């Protein structure tokens, strides 16, 4: 049975907008600093507009198993937003929003997916 999840995650970071953008956009490096990210593998490179690439993500969850899914980047507005479509053990979409507020960078991630993993 597919289960639908919707999450909103918000971070406030004392860093430059460019540093935060680079850290999120360069998802191949996530396993180096993001505790739940087990691996990120580039399946297809982004095009000249920085979109349409596909990456395979493996995440360690709070439950005793890992999630594996692909994500295609479909929108890239530098230093403002990123949007992607997930497929595999998760299906749905995700959107990163970036804003500078004084010395803080505010990041919001909207994640709307269904699980397709059986068992």
Residue range 35-72, pLDDT digits in tens: 999 999 999 999 999 899 999 999 997 777 888 999 99
11: left (phi over 0), alpha (psi -120 to 50) or beta: beta
Whether residue 30 has pLDDT greater than 80: yes
Tell me what percent of the residues of the chain surpass a pLDDT of 90: 82
Do residues 19 and 25 make contact, with C-beta atoms less than 8 angstroms apart?
no
Provide the domain limits for residue 15: 4-115
Segment 10-37 mean pLDDT: 96
Match 């593998």 to its residue by tokens. 41
32: left (phi over 0), alpha (psi -120 to 50) or beta: alpha
Buried b / exposed e along 83-105 (16+ C-beta atoms within 10 A): bbebeebbbbebebebeeeeeeb
The mean of the pLDDT values for the chain is 93
Residue 98 pLDDT:
98
Residue 1 pLDDT:
62
pLDDT band at 118 (very low <50, low <70, confident <90, very high): low
CATH of the domain at 10: 3.30.530.20
CA atoms within 13 A on the CB side of 28: 9
pLDDT band at 23 (very low <50, low <70, confident <90, very high): very high
Whether residue 7 has pLDDT greater than 60: yes
pLDDT band at 119 (very low <50, low <70, confident <90, very high): low
Instruction: Give the ranges where the chain is alpha helix by DSSP (H).
Output: 17-25, 30-33
How many folded domains does the chain comprise? 1
């Amino acid at each position: 049975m597919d289960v639908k999840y919707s999450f909103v995650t918000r971070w406030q970071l004392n860093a430059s907008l460019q540093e935060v953008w680079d850290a999120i956009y360069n998802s191949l490096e996530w396993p180096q600093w993001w505790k739940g990210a087990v691996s990120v593998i580039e399946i297809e490179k982004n095009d000249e507009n920085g979109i349409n690439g596909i990456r395979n993500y493996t995440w360690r969850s709070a439950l005793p198993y890992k999630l594996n899914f692909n994500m295609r980047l479909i929108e890239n507005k530098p230093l403002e937003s990123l949007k992607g479509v997930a497929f595999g053990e998760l299906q749905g979409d995700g959107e990163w929003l970036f804003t500078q507020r004084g010395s803080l960078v505010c990041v919001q991630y909207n994640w709307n997916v269904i699980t397709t993993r059986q068992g």
